Amino acid sequence: MTREDDDLPHIPSRRLMLKGVMAGAALAATPTVASAAPSPEKAAPYVNPLVLNRADPHIHRHSDGTYYFTATVPEYDRIILRRARTLGGLATAAESVIWRKHATGNMGAHIWAPEIHRIGGKWYIYFAAAPAEDVWAIRIWVLENANPDPFKGTWVERGQLRTQWETFSLDATTFTHRGTRYLSWAQHEPGMANNTALWLSRMANPWTLTGSQVRLSTPEFDWECIGYKVNEGPSVIARNGRLFMSYSASATDWHYCMGLLTIDADADLMNPANWTKSPAPVFTSNDTTRQYGPGHNSFTVAEDGRTDVLVYHARQYKEIVGDPLNDPNRHTRVQTLGWHPDGTPDFGVPVADSATEESA
């Protein structure tokens, strides 16, 4: 079976040790250029923050072991890209601007939460943007690059990714499960008394949805409704016979935190009744480590190809003057993602500044 680059992470050793691990989920794909993959490099200890002033971080580990990093910049005006052979190397990697906002019209403001994915031999970036003249009319947009090297070639604007409604929408992520590609995102549903809920749809191609669009979660617990009623920033990891979708909730100050949805790998992903929502947040601000507002995460794996890694942003202080969206100090962080004996993820607490941990 041919594996796609953005299939969900798959670790053979864990599949042998734990019953029911999903057989069809894989992160790596057949390389675009036929060549032997390099041996995994020894992982260096993580030093946090990994990248300063970069929020909503997304790290993609390509089939050749290279890490690609993109994130929201505080100016909300461009999309950046870094790459390195190690996670730690992203801290000092050269940063390229691969796309800038338009001066007028669509994609002219609030360039938020880019994610880079490799699909069908091409690179895609999903991001949120608004018209320059209507900065809160935020929608999901897609860029495409056919060059094997995403730092080269041309990033083509594939346009808006259309959803069921023309309402506030953002934070798109894509994944495949058992041969089907899905998109999950956050959007306001007309008539709902919330800011955003989490949605899921199948995809006809990397910039087009197909079939029904189902709501997986809406803010309902107190911890999801502080400041704003928000579910956003979904990210998916497959392990131990289940899929886990993390997401972020509440306002983007120190109340920002992460929740978790869970579904059996054999269940129909498009049936919301099959998803279970954790009643308590799984990742929150921590006064001991002095990290606040952790969230908008992604998942990757360490250089050994086996150890799961949590990627997220957090601030180093609790009190913010003015609108949190105008505060630039959400920094990218990485730490090992643990696993409970029952096979569910153990997020732990956000690590302290300058802390190091062995990632392998």
Which active-site residues does the annotation give?
Answer: 56, 232
Q: What is the DSSP letter of 223?
A: G
For residue 200, which of 224, 226, 219, 181 has the smallest C-alpha distance?
181
CA separation (Å) from 104 to 65, 78, 100, 107, 109? 39, 14, 12, 8, 9
d(CA 253, CA 66): 33
216 contact partners, CB below 8 Å, separation of at least 6: 184, 197, 198, 199, 200, 245, 261, 272, 275
Contact 58, 298 (CB under 8 A): yes
The length of the chain is 360
Dihedral (C-alpha) 281, 316, 330, 167: value to the nearest 10 degrees?
A: 40
Which residues, in sequence order, are bridge partners of residue 346? 338
Contact 281, 259 (CB under 8 A): yes
Contact 286, 272 (CB under 8 A): no
- State the CB neighbour count (10 A cutoff) for residue 205: 12
* Three-point CA angle 84, 11, 121, nearest 5°: 55
d(CA 115, CA 57): 8
For residue 55, which of 346, 320, 313, 327 has the smallest C-alpha distance?
313
- State the CB neighbour count (10 A cutoff) for residue 304: 12
Number of H helices, E strands in the chain: 1, 21
